[in-house]
A and B are shown apart, each in its own frame.
Chain A
Amino acid sequence: MIGTLYEKVFDAHVVREIAENQFQLAVDVHLVNEVSSPQAFEELLRRGLPVAHPERTFASADHSISTGGDVTLFDDAMCEAQVDMLGKNALDNRLTYFDPMQGLHGILHVVAPENGLTQPGMVIACGDSHTSTHGAFGAIAFGIGTSQVRDVLASQTLIVDKLRVRRIIVEGTLAPGVFAKDVALHVIHWLGAKGGLGFAYEFGGDAVSAMSMEERMTLCNMAVEGGARCGYVNPDAITLDYLRGRAFAPKGAEWDEAATRWLSWASSPDAMWDDEVIFRADDIAPIVTWGTSPDQSVPVGAPLPDPGVAGGDAEDLRDAMIFMGGEPGRPVVGTPIDLAFIGSCTNGRLSDLEAVANFLRRTGGCVKEGVRALIVPGSREVREAVIAQNLDQLFAERGFELRDAGCSLCCGMNADRLVGRQVCASSSNRNFRGRQGSPEGRTYLMSPVMVAAAAIEGKIIDARALENLA
């Protein structure tokens, strides 16, 4: 089939065109969380409508769930009511529920891929902007709001605009100590937080082809921070290897048929992309955000920019710098931190935590006194895998708190929050003002290994310097 993956998958799911470039699109898999769904279920009840396709609807509580270690204890009554409501709605409507009481819960963007629910060629919708994560498999996956959650529950379809496709090629090989998170932050820095408006991002090139599925998930997860509603990577052998044997993956003869079909979704060499941007892996260093938008970042060795000479966005940059307490020309290295957070749908997967564990082993580092360092697995399955490798002991010995699965400090909905002007080195996805639960709190985004290095030093540092890579 000729065309980009986006066009091919989109066209295969069009039910009809409602108005110019407004398509009624069928959804393969609908992921439902406790935050964006209560009003949607309520509306269905009010209108006397059933959930049209419960067999295509999957729920997990992630934002409000406590990560304190006992899922029956909530951080407050509102969180509890919300999670209870999700469980009840799942039960009443016969949805698959990754029940925390059975230890099946986690962040939807971690749980669905783990279970093999996320497959190439699918359209996946979820009331959460980081649904773009699932594009790592060659799916078209995007975040929606509560009204559209209602639409998908009631009809298994929704109305969306067809996007243009920007191909983003990363040529070459990433240097040691440079991760998928750095690639994502690099791309967002150069294309801007609004650069992707109206686009789906197709990531390709040697550096992306070489990435594991979990690294590709990190990259696609961050597409939305660059303004693109979805991002994807063409499916290949790595995609198939990841999916083989997972709970919802086809088996036997069905597998062979599916594998062939999945690979055929990939963009054809003669596809017409609407735009193309080429980056060189050599140019990418570990990156740290210094501001309040994900595109306000510098390579870890570089000084903070001078807003006065930064061009048309001078005022935005100045405001961000004042809020963060930075100064033009000062290095970002050496910024003291109060908290270190390793987790989220961006970087809370097993390979992220393994990378941190290996870094701790290589450097012998321990969390600096006065710093609180949290490791929050993206799912209970990730947590159990960590424990099976005895990494829980390593983390504890080195002063890290290994918590239960959930969104945690990424979005500040449960008790895991910043307080006052606290500074957090975070492997999450957003450095917005107030994002981590304190209006005055400050967030520096970076890769999990860079967070671990900051936890050890008590301040932001080039992680490579701790292991003589730089």
Chain B
Amino acid sequence: MSILIERVSGRGLPLAGNDIDTDQIIESRYLRMTTFEGIEAHLFESLRQASTHPFDDSRFAGASVLIVGRNFGCGSSREHAPQALYRYGIRAIVGESFGEIFAGNCLAIGIPCLSLTSQNCRMLMNICLAHPERPFDIDIRDGIICTYTQRFEFDLPPGRRERLLNGSWDALQVLLSEKTLIEEKLMYLPQVLRR
């Protein structure tokens, strides 16, 4: 039973800064865990211990739309980062650009990563800071983020959009539905043998 992701509504959490890598989101010592259970407790741990952090700001408690800068989630392919954000309650990430592997990992667990111009990103952050209580309404199909007063267009590659809308973001069932095709393709590939 696949879940269709057509809309995301929720309050915003502004996280300023560019090139925030997955090591910062979840440090490598938590990669020793063998489950994702409870990993959200360690989001941005060192940064939060070192100084005030939006994830500890009561104004943004319960937010589900993360607003970020440029190249968010670059670096390590650890799915621990998107898993922790999801378990924290983040249901969409809006930013200027995203690390390639991170964006793919987010899609695989049903978190849309939506790209805006840097100017619009800044405006969204400012709206969020000025009115943390106001929800954002994200329409995946139309490619629009609405606030009380404004509409912003976002970019999402059409194929990824389609997969969110029709539930095929949850890949495994889709992949296994054509076993014959897979086996035919693998027949063409060279064997991998110790010789």
A binding-site residues for B, Cβ under 8 Å: 12-16, 18-22, 24, 26, 28-29, 35-36, 38-39, 42, 47, 49, 52-53, 55-56, 63-64, 76, 78-79, 81-82, 85, 117, 119, 127-129, 131, 142-148, 150-151, 154-161, 193-194, 197-198, 224-225, 227-229, 247-251, 254, 258, 261, 293, 313, 316, 319, 411-413, 430, 432-435, 437, 439
Contacts and interface: CB of A to CB of B under 8 A. Distances in A.
Contacts of A14: 185
Contacts of B19: 193-194, 293, 316
A85 B35 CA distance: 12
Interface string B66-94: 00001100111111101100000000000
Contacts of A12: 188
Interface in B178-195: 178-179, 181-182, 185-186, 188-195
Contact of B158 (A21, A197, A249): A21
Interface in B53-76: 70-71, 74-76
B159 A161 contact: yes
Contacts of A229: 100-101
Interface stretch (B2-10, B21-29, B128-136, B143-151): B21-29
Contacts of B100: 197-198, 227-229
A227 B163 contact: no
Contact of B99 (A21, A29, A227, A319): A227
19 contacts: A15-B185, A21-B157, A24-B174, A26-B185, A36-B78, A49-B176, A52-B182, A76-B32, A82-B32, A156-B182, A157-B185, A193-B74, A194-B97, A197-B71, A225-B75, A411-B28, A413-B32, A433-B24, A439-B27
Contacts of B33: 78
Contact of B189 (A26, A150, A227, A412): A26
B113 to A, nearest CB: 12
Given A15-B181, A19-B163, A248-B192, A42 B172 contact: no
Contact of B181 (A16, A131, A146, A248): A16
B178 A24 contact: yes
Contact of B70 (A16, A42, A131, A194): A194
Nearest to A23: B159
Contacts of A437: 28-29
The 9 residue pairs across chains A and B that have the minimum distance between CB atoms: A145-B79, A439-B46, A145-B105, A78-B32, A143-B77, A22-B159, A20-B159, A147-B108, A194-B71
B50 interface: yes
Contacts of A316: 17-19
B190 A145 contact: no
A248 B24 contact: no
B23 A19 contact: no
A129 B195 contact: no
B31 A148 contact: no
Contacts of B194: 247-248
B163 A18 contact: yes
B168 A227 contact: no
A42 B163 contact: no
A22 B195 CA distance: 35
A19 B168 contact: yes
B161 to A, nearest CB: 8
B2 to A, nearest CB: 13
A446 B45 CA distance: 28
Given A24-B178, A316-B18, A143 B101 contact: yes
Contacts of B27: 434, 439
A14 B34 CA distance: 32
Contacts of B182: 15, 24, 26, 52, 155-157
Contact of B74 (A147, A194, A249, A251): A194
Interface residues of B, number: 66
B109 interface: yes
Contacts of B190: 28, 119, 258, 261
Given A36-B79, A145-B101, A145-B104, A430 B23 contact: yes
Contacts of B193: 55, 248
Nearest to A247: B194
Contacts of A154: 172, 175-176
A28 B171 CA distance: 19
A13 B186 CA distance: 8
Contacts of A250: 195
B170 to A, nearest CB: 9
A22 B70 contact: no
Contact of B31 (A21, A47, A63, A147): A63
B29 A412 contact: yes
Interface in B121-139: none
For A22, A127, A258, which residue has the most chain B Cβ atoms within 10 angstroms?
A: A22
B34 A29 contact: no
B192 A29 contact: yes
B48 to A, nearest CB: 10
Contacts of A56: 192
A439 B34 contact: no
A434 B77 contact: no
Nearest to B179: A155
B75 A15 contact: no
Nearest to B105: A145
A145 B78 contact: yes
A52 B105 CA distance: 22
Nearest to A439: B46
B160 interface: yes
A198 B44 CA distance: 26
B153 interface: no
A129 B101 contact: yes
Contacts of B50: 439
Contacts of A144: 77, 101, 104-105
A197 B163 CA distance: 21
